Amino acid sequence: MDTQKEALRRIINTLANKNEELQYFLDSVDGTRTGLQEESCKVMSELEAELEKLSSALEERGAQLCDIIKGEKQRKEAELQRQLSEGKAALLSCQELLEFANQSLTITNEEEFLTAAKEIKERVTMAPAFRMATRPAVSENMSQFTVDFSGEKAGLLRLNFLPVPRAPEIDVSSCIVRDNCITVTWRPSDGDGPIERYDLEHRKANHGGALRAVGEAGWEKISDITDTQVTLSGLKFDSPFIVVRVRARNKAAAGDFSEPVAMETKAFTFGFDTATAHAELKIQGDTVTWEPQGVKGHDARLRGKENKNRFAAPVQVSSRSATPSPNKTAGSRGGRERFAGESYTVLGDQEINGGCHYWELRPLADWKSLSVGVAYRGSLGRFDQLGKSSTSWCLYASQWLQSALAAKHGNRAKALDWPPPQRIGVYCDHDNGELMFIDVDRLRLLHIFRSRFLQPLVPAFTVWCGGISVATGLQVPSFMGNFVSSNHNAAADQSL
C-alpha cells in the first residue's frame, strides 16, 4: 500500500510540474500575442509617420525648385523689359532725328543748311540707337532647370521595410559576476546593417535550466544601450540565478531576443528569526529597532547610572557597559524561545554549515549600542548576551556616554582603537574557522577571530536604543581578498 502511494505521489508530482510548465507556456503565448498586437500597431503608426515625412519632404523640395524657376523667369523678364524700354526710347529718338534730317534737305540757304547738317551729325554720333546692343540680353531657354526623377522613382519603388536585426549572442565566457554586479557582453549578428541600440532584460530565477522567474517577477528592462556590453550594479542576490537576454534595434525595428542565459549568483541571504527576537525588538524587513515596552526597567540606564562591567578580560572596553549582563538562568534556552532580560538579541534564520559568507550592518540614527557576530543557535540561553560565552563571537560598538569598539568572545573583550564604523562588513569562513569584521567605508580590518567552528553558525545581532539595518544577498566582495591573504599580519588578538 505504501509503495503504491509513493508511486502515486511521484505521478502527482510529475503532473503538477507538467501543469506548471504548461501554465507558464500558455502565459508566454498569451503575452506574445498581446505583444504582437501592440507591436503591429506601433510599426503601422511609424510607417504612416515616415510616409508623411517623405511626402512633406517631397512637397518642400518641389516648392524650392519652383521658386528657383520663378526667380530665373523674373530675372530674365526684367532684363528683357529693360531692353524693350531702352529700344523704344532709342527708336523714338532715331525717328525724330530722321524727320529733322529729311526737313534739313529742303533748306536752300547754304548757311542754314550747314548749321542743320552739323547738328544732325552731332546728334547721330550721340544717338542711343548706335550705342545699344541689337540682340536680346537673355534667351528664352530654361532647359537648365529640366529635372529627371527617374532614379528617385526607382528608389521609391524599391522602398521596403528595414531588415529586422537578428538576435545577438551573449558571450558567456566574457560575462562577469562580481561584487553584486553582473557585466553582460554580447556579439551582434553579421549582416544586420547598422544597429542603433540594444535592449537588455533580466529577472531572477530559481533554476538555471528552466529559466523561470522567481514567483511572479517579470523582466526588468534596460533600454537604449549603444555598446555591446552593460553592467548591472547594486543587485541583491537573493535568488540562485539571474537570467539575461538581449535584442538589437535599428531605426525602426527591434529583433528577437537572444537565447536567455542564466548566471549563477551565489550569495548568503537570510532574514531575522522573529521567534528568537527579544520582545522589545521590532523586526521590519531588514531593520531591527529597539522599542521598550516600559520605562521603569530602563530609567537607570537612560539617566546614565553606572552598571558594573562583568567582563573578566584584563582589558576593559569601558567602565560603563551599554548592555550589562543580567542574572543568567541555569539552563540553555530550549526550542525557539525569545531572548529576554537585557539580552536584546535576535538571530538570523539561516545556518552557516560551511563555505565563505558575507553580510553588512549599518547603524540607524540615534543608536547607542549594538553587537554583530555569529553564534551556535542551540547553545545560547535566553538571557545570554553575545560574546559572553564560548559559543558566540561578536563585534561590540557603543556611543552611549563615550565611544567604544571591542571584540568579544568567551566573556572576554578586546578594546579596539578605532571609532565605531558606519558600515560594518562581516566575513565568515566556516571551513577555515575565520570570522572578520571590516570597516567597509575605510576598508580597514577591525578584528579577526580564529576558531574551530564545531557546529553550524547563525548570524546574531544585539540592539539597544536606536536600530540597525542589515544587508544580505551579498557576494563576498573582491576587496576581502586582500584581507584574507594578509590576515596573518593583521593586528588581531587570536587568543580570544
Spans of all domains in the chain: 1-130, 169-264, 345-489
Nearest to 250 by CA among 324, 163, 121: 163
Provide the 3-class DSSP secondary structure of residue 9: helix
pLDDT recorded at residue 294: 62
Q: Angle, nearest 10°, between helix axes 110-125 and 2-104?
A: 170
pLDDT for residue 8? 85
245: left (phi over 0), alpha (psi -120 to 50) or beta: beta
pLDDT band at 494 (very low <50, low <70, confident <90, very high): very low
Cell of 427: 566575513
Topology of domain 345-489, CATH: Jelly Rolls (2.60.120)
Mind listing the pLDDT tens digit for each residue in 22-67?
Answer: 998 898 899 889 989 998 998 889 889 988 998 999 999 999 999 9
pLDDT tens digits for range 265-313: 989 999 999 999 999 999 999 999 999 876 444 434 443 433 333 333 3
CATH number of the domain at 169-264, out of 1.20.1070.10, 2.60.40.10, 2.40.30.10, 4.10.93.10? 2.60.40.10
Q: How confident is the model at residue 228 (pLDDT cuts 50, 70, 90)?
A: very high
Q: How far, CA to CA in Å, does 271 sit from each of 15, 141, 351, 458?
A: 33, 90, 11, 11
**Confidence at residue 111, expressed as pLDDT on a 0 to 100 scale:** 86
Q: Which residue has the higher pLDDT, 319 or 45?
A: 45
Question: For the chain, what is the mean pLDDT?
Answer: 84
The yes-or-no verdict on residue 216 having pLDDT over 50 is: no
First to last CA, the chain: 58
Q: What is the mean pLDDT of residues 184-205?
A: 89
Report whether pLDDT(419) > 70: yes
| pTM reported for the whole predicted model | 0.61
d(CA 404, CA 401): 9
Give the model's pLDDT for residue 232. 95
The pLDDT tens digits for 437-456 are: 999 999 999 999 999 999 99
Which pLDDT value is given to residue 486? 65
317 phi/psi in degrees, rounded to 5 = -70, -45
Cell numbers that stand for 313 in this block? 578580560
With 60 as the cut, is the pLDDT of residue 317 above it? no
Q: What is the mean pLDDT of residues 144-158?
A: 87
| pLDDT attached to residue 252 | 66
